[in-house]
Amino acid sequence: MDKVIAKEAVGALFKDGQTVMIGGFANHGNPKRLIDVLVESGARGLTVISNDSGDPDYTTGRLVRSGQATRWICSHVGMNPEMGKAVAEGRIDLELNPQGTLAERIRSGGAGVGGVLLRTGLGTVIEEGKRKIEVDGVEYLLETPLRADIALVHARKADGCGNLVYRGTSRNFNPLVAMAGRIVVVEAEEIVPIGSLDPDEIHTPGIFVHMILAND
C-alpha cells in the first residue's frame, strides 16, 4: 500500500478547531514542509502540541505569527518573543509542561493508557488542578494523556508503507508524536521503495503512519 500523497491532499486535512501535534525540538527535526502546508491551509482556532514554539518566522513559530493557534501545549517558549506577547495579550492560551512530563503525556496518548504518575511539579504551580495519587506512601501527580486530530512528523527516510527511519537527534519527539495522532502525516527527506529498508533500522513501523507528503 503506497501512502504517498500530494501536497493538496494534505492541505485538505486541516480544519478549524483541530488539535495538531508537531514533532521536533528547537527547530531540529521539525516537519517544515508540513508546517508550511498547515499555514497555507488557513485553518484557525488550532490547539498545537509541540516541544516548543520555534522561532518567530520558522517552524512552529509560524503558527504564532499567523495567528492560527489559540492554544499551545509545550515545554518552553523562550526562543520566540512573539509567543510571550501573544500570551500576554490573551491571543494564545499557553499550557507549559516540564519536558519529560510532556514526552510521557504524548507517549501515554500513543500507547492508549490513561495517564502516567509523576512527581515532577509537586509543590509548584504545575500541580494546580491536577489529581494527586499516593502509591506506597509516595505522592504523585496524575498526568493525563495527550492525543491529536493530526500529527505531523519528520523522518530521514520513509518507504511507501510508512516505515520510518530518523537521523540522530532528529528522533527527539518524532517517534512519540507518530503514535499519538488520529491521522499521522509524515514528511521524509527521502522516500525509498517498499522493501528497501532493513527491518532492524526502522524506528517507527508503518502501521502508525497514514500519509506521506510527496517530495517535489
Q: How many Cβ atoms from other residues are within 10 Å of residue 45's Cβ? A: 13
Average pLDDT over residues 151-156: 98
CA contacts within 13 A on the Cβ side of 210? 14
Res 6: pLDDT? 96
Model confidence at 1: pLDDT above 70: no
Prediction pTM value: 0.96
52 compared with 1, residue with greater pLDDT: 52
pLDDT at 216 over 90: no
- pLDDT at res. 51: 98
Domain ranges of the chain: 4-102+146-213
Q: Is the CB of residue 43 less than 8 Å from the CB of residue 64? A: no
In the predicted structure, residue 35 carries a pLDDT above the cut 90: yes
pLDDT per position as a tens digit, 105-126 = 999 999 999 999 999 999 999 9
Quote the CA–CA distance of 127 and 121 in Å, as a whole number.
6
Q: What residues contact 121, with CB distance under 8 A and at least 6 apart?
A: 98, 101, 127, 130, 141
% of residues, the chain, pLDDT over 70: 100
Whether 76 and 100 have beta carbons less than 8 Å apart is answered as no
Could you name the CATH architecture of 4-102+146-213? 3-Layer(aba) Sandwich (3.40)
List all residues 6 or more positions away from 180 whose beta carbon is below 8 Å from its beta carbon.
21, 106, 107, 109, 110, 145, 146, 147, 148, 151
Mean residue pLDDT across the chain: 97
